[in-house]
């Protein structure tokens, strides 16, 4: 791989042994045809199965394949970020390992790029093999984030896309650690276009995004692109204060008018409980932002590369 490749394909991998051979077969068929000068950058995100062995064997056999291995699991977004940072191509395609993003769409992405687009997103027209509850939650999240922030995100665009070298350079300059890559790609701008495709179910294996990771991703997306939760809490605070002032006024007036103050502890109890709830929510939301600030201030690297097949060809 002497000269710079035209296309880099970045594949985050976490325990995907069951799909890797099929992925490799389909990827190389497609790439041989549409972009002979390419490299494939597999980022092994601390897999505990056979994935690293399969990848290293592949990179030994094929100089176009590069394998970065993380020292542990750092998460999908960190793996995508590492892939983009290490890719050399004039164009970079980010694709999931599980074949939910069909490699056969890559030629369409390339065609758009060659026609002058700098970001080409693959838009899912159909999503097969995902639970209705999961899809409903994902839809609600995107509704929320669209209302609350200025970045235009839709539920039908994931991380499957092509970005131009210039976009990659811009992304690499962004210092933040809690990465929500699809939001950042929107944020950096450049000329966008879209290609539609059918999203298949997973080829094999289980999703590596349990609800806990999905919620974490949603929180990252929300807090890095919107301060609306903080503002909402402030408004709520004002509203509750106004309400309690109103109650005081009501009590005074009824006392002066009839001599009989509203009796009973129920109202007091409800008010106290309500206020406590509001305050806890407010503290929680503040905490979410403070945590992010704390993460950024610590300045720890986003990921740690344990080995790179390009630098030391046979790490075992």
- Residues lying near Mg ion in the complex (CB under 5 A) are found at 98, 100
Smallest separation, CB 308 to ligand UDP (Å): 16
For residue 208, the number of C-alpha atoms closer than 13 Å in the C-beta half-sphere is 21
Residue 23 interacting with ligand UDP (CB under 6 A): no
Residue 14 interacting with ligand UDP (CB under 6 A): yes
- 98/156 with CB nearer ligand UDP: 98
18 vs 22, 24, 42, 75, 140, CA distance in Å? 8, 12, 15, 19, 32
Residues 6 or more apart whose Cβ sits within 8 Å of residue 97: 11, 12, 13, 14, 16, 19, 20, 23, 42
Q: What would the two tokens of residue 28 be?
A: 């190389």
CA pair distance 64, 87, nearest whole angstrom: 12
- 99/167 with CB nearer ligand UDP: 99
- 18/271 with CB nearer ligand UDP: 18
Chain center to CA of 138: 12
Helix (H) or strand (E) holding 164: strand 157-164
- 11/151 with CB nearer ligand UDP: 11
Q: Which does 73 bind (CB under 5 to 8 A by kind): Mg ion, ligand UDP, none?
A: ligand UDP
Q: What would the two tokens of residue 9 be?
A: 């394909």
CB 79 within 8 A of CB 12: yes
Q: Which of 154, 209, 230, 292 binds ligand UDP (CB under 6 A)?
A: 209
Residues binding ligand UDP: number (CB under 6 A): 16
Q: What would the two tokens of residue 236 be?
A: 């709520």
Smallest separation, CB 163 to ligand UDP (Å): 17
Specify burial of residue 288 (Cβ count, 10 A radius: 0-12, 13-18, 19+).
middle
- 98/164 with CB nearer Mg ion: 98
Question: In this chain, which stretch among 145-153, 166-174, 182-190, 207-215 interacts with ligand UDP, using CB under 6 A?
Answer: 207-215
Query: x-or-dash pattern for ligand UDP, window 94-133, by CB under 6 A?
Result: --xxx-x---------------------------------
Q: Can you give the binding site for ligand UDP, defined by CB under 6 A?
A: 12-14, 16, 45, 73, 75-76, 79, 96-98, 100, 207-209
């Amino acid at each position: 791989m002497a000269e710079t490749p035209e296309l880099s394909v970045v594949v985050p991998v976490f325990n995907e042994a069951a799909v890797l051979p099929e992925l490799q077969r389909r990827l190389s068929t497609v790439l041989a045809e549409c972009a002979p000068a390419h490299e494939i950058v597999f980022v092994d995100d601390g897999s505990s199965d056979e994935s690293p062995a399969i990848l290293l064997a592949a990179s030994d056999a094929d100089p176009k394949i590069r394998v970065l291995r993380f020292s542990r699991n750092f998460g999908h977004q960190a793996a995508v970020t590492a892939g983009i940072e290490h890719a050399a191509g004039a164009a970079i395609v980010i694709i999931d390992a599980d074949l939910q993003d069909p490699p056969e769409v890559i030629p369409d992405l390339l065609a758009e790029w060659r026609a002058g687009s700098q970001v080409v997103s693959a838009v899912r027209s159909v999503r097969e093999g995902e639970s209705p509850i999961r899809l409903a939650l994902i839809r609600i999240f995107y509704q929320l984030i669209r209302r609350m922030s200025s970045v235009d995100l839709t539920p039908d665009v994931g991380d499957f896309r092509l970005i131009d070298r210039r976009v990659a350079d811009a992304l690499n300059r962004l210092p933040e650690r809690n990465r929500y890559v699809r939001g950042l790609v929107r944020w950096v701008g450049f000329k966008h276009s879209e290609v539609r495709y059918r999203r298949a179910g997973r080829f094999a294996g289980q999703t590596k995004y349990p609800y806990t990771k999905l919620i974490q991703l949603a929180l990252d997306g929300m807090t890095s692109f919107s301060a609306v939760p903080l503002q909402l809490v402030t408004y709520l605070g004002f509203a509750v204060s106004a309400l309690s002032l109103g109650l005081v006024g009501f009590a005074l007036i009824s006392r002066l008018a009839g001599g009989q103050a509203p009796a009973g502890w129920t109202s007091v109890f409800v008010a106290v409980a309500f206020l406590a709830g509001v305050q806890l929510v407010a503290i929680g939301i503040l905490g979410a932002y403070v945590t992010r600030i704390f993460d950024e201030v610590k300045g720890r690297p986003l990921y740690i590369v344990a080995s790179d097949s390009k630098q030391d060809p046979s790490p075992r």
